Structures are given as structure tokens and as C-alpha cells.
Amino acid sequence: METYPVPEQKMLAAAKKKQCHQEHTPLNRGQFMLARVSLLTIFFAIVLLYMFNSTYSRSTIISTNKPGYTYSIDNLPNTGKNTYKLDKKKLAELVRKIEQDEFGYINSIVIIYRDALVLERYFRGWSREKRHWCLSATKSFISALIGIAVQQGKIKSVDEKVLSFFPEYSHIANLDERKKSITVKHLLTMTAGFEWNEYSRTVNEDGTINYDNDFQKMNASSDWIKHVLDRPMQSNPGTIFNYNTGCATLLTGIIRNTTGQSAKDFADQYLFKPLGIKNWQWNGKADGDWPPPSVISDDKDRVTHANSLFLTPADMAIFGYLYLNQGMWNEKQIVPKNWVKASAQKYSENLAGDYGFLWGLQKFYLGNTIAETVEKHLYFAYGGYGQFIFVIPPLDMVVVMTAENGPHFPGSKPPISTTFTMLYDYILPACASR
């Protein structure tokens, strides 16, 4: 079968306008149709895998485990059983082009398909044990933590008012009825209504911090929670999507105030340990030379940064697999099933696409011809420079890609369009051809 992206031309102008913003702008779906019908195809690319035998057996998967350390991804029920069929030519071509840097700087790709690890490849010196900066894909993990806290009764519902969680602030600037009405759900869907500009570059061309960007203003403040709560209101809550890392930061503050734990400690106890994830870091320096230490902020009064989780790509894939299986892992419900379903529903939309509970939403089509296509849905966690966790229920598949693509890396490619071209033109067709 072939795969086709959603033909929504209304997003083309926004795609071109916001391409320079690589960290905080979610996928613009229309740009993929543009790539298919115009000379802008030159900016798109391909990404993935290289295999040496026709069955993609377990022996083709690169494993670099440290002695005594095991990864949960090695315990998937169908790995090595050849219960799946892939188009090896598409995947081999993709990997070959990645190795030639035709798609910019791709660091890893991991594919789980039909309960099996079918591809795990690393490039440019990266390996399985190296933790990768998730950037804003961190927000999808925060969403999971909120779901767990709701299930535990720490948070009564997503309709609770945000200000009720922060009684320590006796004075909040720019307080009005709109601000008083902001709920947890508004934070999860980026519709809180704060005046907030995060679409400009976070870092200037000379490498200095761009303090015209509200994300950077928050980072520089002495109290991230207070900084966000004090922002003026721009719209009624629940009406307009506006990408705002401050919303996710407030959610980590809510976790702190309702559970007595920082979000990262809460994650360790109720998410990472149950999943067998041990090689992680939040709010600190990861492995290698990227990112520079100055990029990562330390905790401000135990508030966990919504942009600073570091995981191995293999463990990122296990998180995606958890959602693919409706929050279940090893017959244990880690994230509530109803929360997983709610997270992948459309609550807000913007020129860059649909949005759930801190997850991006996307449509695609499967069929031998465009006339025979059937609409399908996937959802994804996205972090700047090309960090993606795709959950694709119609194909029983999870895809993780990490990269260093963006304006700060000379010779790299546009991360969003490049990643989705790899997904639509190579990965999905390779699995849909069964």
C-alpha cells in the first residue's frame, strides 16, 4: 500500500512562515502536500534503516547494553519471531541516505512493529546507551504524569481551576475573571489564553539567548511558576491555541503541590521504574557535547523543566509502546486507559495541526491509489531539532527518531518536514505493504 498525507492546503502559508522556528512549532501538515506538488521537495528527505537479511531477524538489531543493564525494549513479546513483514528495500534505501547525511543529522531511529523491535540504528557516533535530549517531547511525559495523578485522586479532574493549586501566591499580577477560569485542561491543550510569544527563535544567529521569546524570559526568571501566572491574558481560556511551554511548567508545579514530589521524582516512581527505565535524567547535562550545559536549567524550587528530559531512544520507544497498548505494560496499567484515549483526542487546532493533551495529532491515508485511500490517525510527541515519538495504532507501530536538525546546525535539514517525509514515504509504506 501507499501512504498519503492529509491534503490540507490552508496550512501552506503558515508552514513557510514558521519554518524558522524549530523547537516550539508543532507539525504543519499542509507542508507535506506542498512538498509533493512543488520544487520545495528539495527540502524534504528520507530516514531510516539498513538491514542485511530478508526477514529482519533479531540479529540485525544493534545492541550496546552496558554489562548488567537491560532495556525493556529487549523484552517485547514478538521480537525475533518473524511475525511481521516489511518492505526491506524501502527501509534499506532510507538508512543508506541517512548514512550519507541526505536528510541532515539523524542520530537514531527505532521501530517497534507488531510487538517486535524490528529496527534500531544509530548514526554519527550515537549508541544505545547514550541519552538524547527530548526537548519539548518532554511535555508528552508530563501529560502522562497528570493522568496518573488524576487516577490517584491527587488531582480531582482536568476541570479544576489552576489558581487553586497555588495558594502560596497571595498576589498574582493581571488577575481577572479569564485568568481565574483557567483549568488543568486548558494547560494540557495549550489554550490557557496567556499573552505569550514562543514562536520566535529561542537562540539568536550568533548563539546568544533571544529574550524576546517568552520561553527564554521564563527560564531567566527566579520563579517559573510565578512568572507564568503573572502573564497578562490575551484570549478567553479554551478558545485559541497558543504554544506555551509555561503551560506545561504550571503542570509540573501542580504535580509538586498535589503529590509532594517534583514531577521528575513522581515520574521515577510511577512511570520510569514500572517501565524498567533507569538510564534517564531530567534537568541536567546528558551525554556527549550536545546540548551545551547552559541550555539546561536546574530545578527552581523543585519545579521540573518541561523541556529537559533526557532518555535513550530505546526507552523513548517503550514510552510510545506504553501508549500504543493503552497504558499497559507487563499486564499492569501504568497510565490510565481512559487517559491514553483522551490524550489522542482533538481539543484544539491551529495552523500547525490538531492537538490533544500535549500530543500532536495527524491524519494519514492508506491505499493502493489515492482514490482507494482510507483515513487513519496517528499521534506524536515532538521536540525541537527533530525528536519524535510516533504512536501509530492502525499499523500497530511506534517510531522514534532523534536528530540535530535546525538553524543552529549548519548543513542540517528542516526537522519537521524531513521527519514526516521519512515517515510518510518510507516507514509507513514499508509496514503497510504487508
pLDDT in tens, 241-298: 999 999 999 999 999 999 999 999 999 999 999 999 999 998 754 454 455 444 444 4
281 pairs with which residues across the strands? 310
Structure-block grid coordinates of residue 391: 504512536
Q: What is the pLDDT of residues 24-47, one digit of tens each?
A: 333 333 333 333 333 223 222 322
- pLDDT, averaged across the chain: 81
Per the model's pLDDT, the better-predicted residue between 303 and 339 turns out to be: 339
Q: Which pLDDT does position 433 carry in this prediction?
A: 55
The single residue listed with the C-alpha cell 522556528 is 21
The class level of CATH for 136-259 reads alpha beta
**C-alpha cell read off for 111:** 521501530
Domain residue extents for the chain: 2-129+312-432, 136-259
pLDDT in tens, 302-331: 577 888 899 999 999 999 999 999 999 999
Provide the 8-state DSSP code for 222.
S
Q: 116 in helix, strand or coil?
A: strand
Choosing among 3.40.1130, 1.25.40, 3.40.710, 2.30.110, the CATH entry for 2-129+312-432 is: 3.40.710
The amino acid sitting at 279 is N
Nearest partner of 63 among 48, 47, 79, judged by Cα = 79
pLDDT, greater one: 179 or 20: 179
- CB crowding 165-183: b at 16 or more within 10 Å, else e: beeeeeeeeeeeebbebbb
| CA angle centred on 331, ends 330 and 335, rounded to 5° | 90
Same fold, 2-129+312-432 and 136-259: yes
What is the Cα–Cα distance from 177 to 388, expressed in whole angstroms? 37
